[in-house]
Chain A
């Protein structure tokens, strides 16, 4: 059982890396993801924005893959995150996102982890599939955050 869980988790990370490295028809992709490895408990990727900025803005990503599918009514993706991990993500001063992966479909959905989210989380909305449009918005959102560097103004189009 643990093996199957590990496999799904690893595959989820592969799918997230693949989504984030999409060139989206541009000369360079939007993002430069760096896997954090198994020792980093909450987050799976540190993702730098591909920019000409001297110090590239970045954000953190936790990837959660599932084979459980979606909820019946809201069609949310059934991914589980423990309350303590949710709190760790929300407290993080760096922009933090949760990317849920529908493993059998190979699709990924993003939500921002900030504000009053306390958790635990049992599912996430699928309003924001990780595609070209979403990646462009995400890039602008993170860049904007680092321009102002105002933690209290932390806001997101990818709210839960």
Chain B
């Protein structure tokens, strides 16, 4: 019986992935990266391919169940899932949770990190701890993507009559928000430099530069006091190191990556995030 339940769970997850792949691949303007191998609270990182400025991404987490559910039931069932995600969050990009059922074609989604339009005309990314399940299909995926674009339009200052608008800090008001963060892209963010050894290694250098750009564009906060130094290890030149230093706390941390690691900017970004807290903390 237990074995049957385990098997069912495995097939349920497999089918949820298959349904997600079909749904997301129905739009040619999405680049989907499977993140389920990493334990960061999301299953897919989706990049929006468009002529609009900036790196525009949103995340998808999957949940699935065997039996059919109503929206109300989904809301109750997903509450622990959202609370679990809150432990990984806040996320630097809009984040949704897809909820599939095996016994009927109806699927649901709810925002986890929602681009919320506020009464003063600004937008904020708000983390939800209560689910608000809505049907998930091609039309509502269009809505999700339009919403994500609106967020980045606002965040990158490409709307609002040409004024460069910066997102406002969010507060716990109105809708139920667990905690919230905003994405701010600043030009005076963390700066990176590259060692002579790395400058002689074109493939590693290109990958490191892509990671630098990704980190600057993706990190939710400006980090003007942080510098990054990319280098190759002397004795094992296949290992790429990144030393980040904060000029205020005078703390630094060094991370080691393989070439494969740095070809995945998301991975480098997450690794950096793990170390930033400790180098920015005074004392």
Chain B interface, number of residues (Cβ within 8 angstroms)? 16
Is the CB of A92 closer than 8 A to any CB of chain B?
A: no
Chain B: minimal CB distance from A2 (Å): 14
Is the CB of A44 closer than 8 A to any CB of chain B?
A: no
Count A/B pairs, Cβ under 8 Å: 43
B residues less than 8 Å from A50 (CB atoms): 7, 11
Contact B103 A11 (CB under 8 A): no
Instruction: Give the nearest-CB partner of A31 in chain B.
Output: B11
Is the CB of A128 closer than 8 A to any CB of chain B?
A: no
Chain A interface, number of residues (Cβ within 8 angstroms)? 17
The residue that A29 contacts in the complex, of B15, B22, B26, B28, with Cβ under 8 A, is B15
Chain A: minimal CB distance from B7 (Å): 6
Contact A18/B11 with A7-B28, A23-B102, A23-B103 known, Cβ cut-off 8 Å: no
Contact A18 B22 (CB under 8 A): yes
Instruction: Give the nearest-CB partner of A17 in chain B.
Output: B18
The residue that B18 contacts in the complex, of A7, A14, A25, A28, with Cβ under 8 A, is A14
Chain B: minimal CB distance from A147 (Å): 22
Contact A15/B22 with A23-B102, A27-B4 known, Cβ cut-off 8 Å: yes
Bound complex: CA A148 to CA B66 (Å): 35
Is the CB of B14 closer than 8 A to any CB of chain A?
A: yes
Instruction: Give the nearest-CB partner of B28 in chain A.
Output: A7
Bound complex: CA A106 to CA B26 (Å): 9
Contact A27 B28 (CB under 8 A): no
Chain A: minimal CB distance from B8 (Å): 6
User: Which residues of chain B have a CB within 8 Å of any CB of chain A?
Assistant: 4, 7-8, 11, 14-15, 18-19, 21-22, 25-26, 28, 66, 102-103
Give 10 pairs: A residue, B residue, CB < 8 Å, sorted on A.
A7-B28, A10-B25, A11-B22, A17-B18, A18-B21, A21-B11, A23-B11, A23-B103, A27-B4, A50-B11
